[in-house]
Amino acid sequence: MSETKIKRRQRQVDVTLTSVAASATTLRLDDMAGAVISLPTLSTSASSLQLYGSTTEDGTYGRVYGADGSAADITLTPSSTLPTIYSLPDALFALPFVRVVSGDTHTESVTGTVAFKS
């Protein structure tokens, strides 16, 4: 007897990082359980990505914080020779809509790919 395999849904969204939350790409997380963001090679001075969320797509986006009160940012360890991949923080997945924002000028206008799994 063969086992039935349960397949996860996945999707990818390209994002161009900006330093302004209002102009960042809106990511829909309401049916996703996890995600990573892939970034190309970067200046080693790049430091962070900030995460903003909202309960409605066209609502006001606020900075996301974890239960411990610290910002749910992604601290970058960039490489000028290899692309890097970072997990999106768990705190985001309680929100249906999220935006990834450049934390410094070294990541502005960089195009990354967010890969989601449900």
Domains of the chain: 10-117 (2.60.120)
Q: What percent of the chain has pLDDT over 70?
A: 97
Under the banding of pLDDT at 50, 70 and 90, the label for residue 33 is confident
> Which of helix, strand or coil describes residue 3?
coil
DSSP secondary structure string for all residues of 58-98: TS--EE-B-TTSSB--EE----SSS-EEEEPPGGGGG-SEE
What is the distance between the alpha carbons of residues 87 and 74, in angstroms, rounded to a whole number? Answer: 8
In the prediction, which pLDDT does 5 show? 73
pLDDT tens readout for residues 41-73 = 998 899 999 999 999 999 999 999 988 999 999
Under the banding of pLDDT at 50, 70 and 90, the label for residue 1 is low
> 100 pairs with which residues across the strands?
51
Task: Tell me the whole-structure pTM to 2 decimals.
Answer: 0.88
